Amino acid sequence: MKYNDLIKKMTLEEKASLMSGKDFWQTESIERLGINSMFLADGPHGIRKQAEAADHLGLNESIPATCFPTAATVANSWNEELVEKVGEYLGEEAVSQKVNVLLGPGINMKRSPLAGRNFEYFSEDPYLAGKLAAGMIKGIQSHGISACVKHFAVNNQEERRMSIDTIVDERTLREIYLTAFEIAIKEGQSKTVMSAYNMLNGAYTNENIHLMREILRDEWNYEGVVVTDWGGSNDRVAGLLAGNELEMPTTAGETDKEIIAAINKGHISEDILDECVDRLLDLLFTTEKVFAKETKDFDIEEHHQMAQKVAEESIVLLKNEENILPLKQNEKVAVIGDFAQEARYQGAGSSIVNPTILDNTLESLEESGLTYIGFEKGFDRYGKKSKKQIDKACELAKEADVVLLYIGLDEVTEAEGLDRQSMSIPENQIELIHALHKVNVNIVAVLSCGAVVEMPWIGKVKGLLHSYLSGQAGSKAILRAIVGEVNPSGKLAETYPIKHEDTPAYYHFPGKEVSVEYREGPFIGYRYYDTANVNVLFPFGFGLSYTTFEYSEVQVDKSGVTFAITNTGDYAGSEVAQLYVGCQSTNIFRPKKELKGFTKVFLNPGETKSVTIPFDDKTFRYFNVKTNQWEIEEASYNIMIGASCSDIRLEETLVVEGTGAPLPYDKDVLSSYYSGKANQVSIEEFEALLGYKVPVSTWDRTVPLGYNDTIAQCQYAKGLFARFAFRAITLSHSFLWKIGKRSTANLIMMSVYHMPFRGMARMTGGIMNMPMLDGVLMIVNGKFFKGLRHVLKERKKMRKAQKESQQLINNRNKGEVL
């Protein structure tokens, strides 16, 4: 251990104290030994360090910081260097605010388009997500602080996220849900990893020995720190055994005592605690070095310009009928849509950033050079219908040559802690599109949202620019693309299906009670649509340009593929060339093709460049469940270069030598997986894939409620008071939603309705402890007066213990002998 001498000077109590937070965002300190607190701050796309009382939900305003485009947006750039540059800017701002650990990037897979936090994640493809995350981590950590890749792992739904058990087979786990983390940790060298809230195959992720020890530590040789998601600790001692150093936020010393008791009773060795303390100290000492120098404020305008550059390169042109874009300066333009007046530029929840500057579309129109004739709101962003607004918008549209229509999803629809209920944009926006089309067919839509939506209205617009959530400088970036100052070069990092029913997880998302079953196996996103021959609206990797590109001269050898790209149009522009690989053998089920490399190339009109995409250790591998390791199947492989998943321009065949592993599957019992049509797999076939019986997915309503049951389950609790509380919560949510207080209504669902009872102790910073929670559960389970007495008695004991503990800390900090 690096800090063995220092650790020997610590008491057992001091060592245990370092394993949980001092408050909501800071770690504990030991002043007598010169061990300072670390500050951890949210920051997937901007720093969220709160100036006032701390909370995890984005309620209190944070110190101003640059709001860069979200991960779902920058993923469309397919530009590793650009994403690394974003990381550098984030790191600089973190240092200026004295943040040791920046909690990002998030790299969970987009299993379903409805997952509420998709705007914070890169892609449905693990290779793309991993490469971009590695770049961002390198950039953040280039300033000496730590990134924190999250949420490890298979955290793919928000509903019941703190208690849901994810049931997934080992091969799918490795190939789809862990590969991005593997790349981020091995290539990005992330110093910190955040464990997810959920369970994985029966064990909470931060207690899961297979995930945390066998894979993360032993296979990937990870030597950094694991921190829980806020309130994500279940059994603190089990978490410590798995190598989970830091529990956040504070529990006012309660879980420290659990660690001490476990060591004193011989349940765990003190050496395990020492190992965790050593890693935590290394994180502290390496990240605080940068603060020894005088920190300076960052250049607000320079960072804003960088945010604009990233937004520009991430815009995706999805439709350009009759080359309606770019617009000509002499065309009369009407701007319609609430999102033009008040931009939808970031997500909601723990990632919300207080921007340093915020560009506005209406204010930026003058410098765009467009002939602007007026603005109408057209619709209410939260879905309230108004014929008057539509009529006024249509009157304006009649006078215009082109209508610029700003549409999308609102802030309460895409939010942490909640999944979306449908893939549609609000009905009042769709009604507006149809009404506008009747008076002016020249409509260019600008779509702002962080996730996939259905587009049954797409035939009513001639142009469609998707800006995703483009950050504080997005408005100007979009206008520059509209007038041709920027040639759109973004390509979709996720597939757009025609309708929700087409999605592979449609029948098994989200898990509503105990568990969620990943019956589709590795067939998520384009892997499913492509293999099962399901038509989609826009394929993975798709994006138009104002110019055209031609691919030629492909050459393939064992090291990689080389080819030429020529800009055959009239505009300078960038093209994202994508390498896909498909195995011709049918002995092991696989997707038809999988992304294994990509590059972005800038070309002037008429220019040709030679491009090489090398193969790596992930190009031909698959995870063999019989040998329990990565193998290569000896076979012929299709090597494909495409402009998207479904637009393959060049193709060659390569024979690859295998590792000689035994075949892992019986074709006869896994027919759905061998066909790729895995959206309605039977439980028997899923069990054959898993190798064991699927656990019961519904609540047992006959047993008393416990720590990991949720407030939602009070609907069937034995206690009358609990059932009353459940009704009050649901009625409050319904009432707040109807009167327009939708953010508050969402907060009730996220922080109360789906919260496990243990969250009362883990998330309240010492206001309630686990013995008090025992009393609450007595009340819930029908023993009201006994439970109330227990709560009051334990509260009195807790307050007395807290006073004694604080006195002990004060004495220790004064250097008194204990």
Catalytic residue numbers read 229
Residues in Cβ contact with 661 at an 8 Å cutoff, skipping those fewer than 6 apart? 624, 626, 627, 631, 633
Spatial separation of the C-alpha atoms in residues 440 and 447, rounded to whole Å: 19
Q: How far is CA 435 from CA 390, 398, 443, in A?
A: 7, 11, 11
The alpha-carbon radius of gyration of the chain (Å, integer) is 27
Tokens of 556: 């393939």
Torsion of CA 187, 188, 190, 191, to 10 degrees: 80
Tokens of 741: 């207080």
Q: What is the DSSP letter of 215?
A: I
Backbone torsion region of residue 661, taken as left when φ is above 0, otherwise alpha when ψ lies between -120 and 50, otherwise beta = beta
Backbone torsion region of residue 156, taken as left when φ is above 0, otherwise alpha when ψ lies between -120 and 50, otherwise beta = alpha
With H, G, I as helix, E, B as strand and everything else as coil, classify residue 336.
strand
Residues in Cβ contact with 524 at an 8 Å cutoff, skipping those fewer than 6 apart? 109, 110, 111, 124, 176, 504, 505
> Would you say 286 and 279 are in contact if contact means Cβ atoms under 8 Å apart?
no
> Would you say 437 and 395 are in contact if contact means Cβ atoms under 8 Å apart?
no
With H, G, I as helix, E, B as strand and everything else as coil, classify residue 638.
strand
Phi, psi of 816, deg, nearest 5: -70, 150
Spatial separation of the C-alpha atoms in residues 492 and 505, rounded to whole Å: 20
Phi, psi of 520, deg, nearest 5: -70, -10
Single out the residue of 751, 750, 764, 760 nearest to residue 780, CA to CA.
760
Cβ atoms < 10 Å from Cβ of 661: 17
Tokens of 453: 């939506």
Q: What kind and span of H or E run contains 238?
A: helix 236-241
Write down the residue that tokens 């720190």 correspond to: 225
Q: What is the DSSP letter of 693?
A: P
Q: What kind and span of H or E run contains 132?
A: helix 126-141
Phi, psi of 775, deg, nearest 5: -65, -40
Phi, psi of 618, deg, nearest 5: -105, 0
Tokens of 128: 């793309």
> Would you say 672 and 681 are in contact if contact means Cβ atoms under 8 Å apart?
yes
Pairing of strands 608-614, 560-567: antiparallel
Phi, psi of 588, deg, nearest 5: -125, 130
- What would the DSSP string read from start to end of 97-122? TT-SEEE--B-----STT-TTGGGS-
> Would you say 134 and 181 are in contact if contact means Cβ atoms under 8 Å apart?
no
Cα 451 from chain centroid?
11
